[in-house]
Amino acid sequence: MPDLCLHHNSNLLILIYGCIFIKKIFPEFFKEKFLFSKKLIKDLFSYGLPVMLGSAGSLVLGYVDGICLTYFTGLNAVADYRNVAMPTVSILSYFASAVSSVLFPLSSELWEKGYKEALGYGVERICLYSFVLVLPMAILMAYFPEVIINLFFNPQYLSAVPAIRILSLGTIFLTLNRIGFTVLNGIGKPHLSTKILYIGAIFNLIFNILLIPKFGIVGASLTTVFGYLLMWILQAWYLSRFLNYSFLIKKWILAVLIGIFSLIPLVLITKIINNIILQLIVGG
C-alpha cells in the first residue's frame, strides 16, 4: 500500500510540475505547428543506431568472460574474476570516465568548427597524460594484490591475485579505449566505435574458448588485456586518419621505462617494512 501511494504521488507531482513548466517556459507549446523533418529523423537514426548497437556490444564484451568461465571452470572462478578482480581494477578506470565527460562535447565542437589539428594535438596529450597518471597506480595494484584483497575482501579470495596482476595493467588500455571511443563518437563516427567493439567482443569470445579451459581466470585475464590492446590499436589507426593523430613514441617509451624502474623501490620497501598496510602507503 505505501508503494502504491508513493507511485500515485509521483504521478501527481509530474503532472503539476509539467503544467507549470509548459505554462512558464513554453506558453506557446500547444500553438506551435508540428513539423516532420525526414532529414532530422535520418540523422538521429544514423547516429543513434550505432550508439545503441555499441552499447549492446559493450554488454557482450563485459559478460563474455563470465559466461565462458562459468561454462568451463565453475562458479568459484567466476566469483574470483567477476566479484573480486574486475571490480578492484575497475577503480583505475574512473579517471577516464571523468575525462570522457568533458572530452565528448569538446571534441564535437572542435570537429564541427574545423579545428582538426587542434583536436588531434589535444587527443595526443590527453592520451599521454592519462597513461602517465594511470601507469603508477596500475603498477602499485599489480605489485600489492594480496594486500588489497586482505584489506577489502578476505583471504579466501587470494586465488584472484594473478587475475588482478594482469588486469591492473590492462586497465591502462581500457582508459585509452574510453578516451578513443569518446572522441570517435564526438566527431560523428559512432559506427567505427561499434565496429571496434564487436571486433573486440569476437576476439574475446574466441580466445576465451581457447584459453580458459587450460588456464582458467589467468586465460580470461590475458584475453581481456589483449582485447583492450587490439581495440586501442584500431582506435589509434582510425584517429590518425581523421585527426592527424600521432603516437608520441619517445615519451611513451620514457614513461614505460620510468614505470619499470619504479619497481626497484617497491621491492626494497617490501623487504624493509613488514606491515602490509604501511607497505601499501609507502609504496604509493
List of the chain residues with pLDDT < 50: 1-6
- Look up residue 163 and give its amino acid: A
What is the distance between the alpha carbons of residues 87 and 67, in angstroms, rounded to a whole number?
17
* pLDDT value of position 4: 42
What is the structure's pLDDT at 55?
A: 67
At 242, list the grid cell: 581523421
How high is the pLDDT of residue 5? Answer: 47
Q: Which pLDDT value is given to residue 247?
A: 65
pLDDT recorded at residue 274: 76
Q: What is the pLDDT of residue 171?
A: 87
Q: What does the pLDDT read at residue 9?
A: 57
Contacts of 106 (CB under 8 A, 6+ apart): 122, 186
- Cell of residue 107, nine digits: 571534441
**CA–CA dist 98, 150 (Å, integer):** 29
Q: What is the pLDDT of residue 49?
A: 64
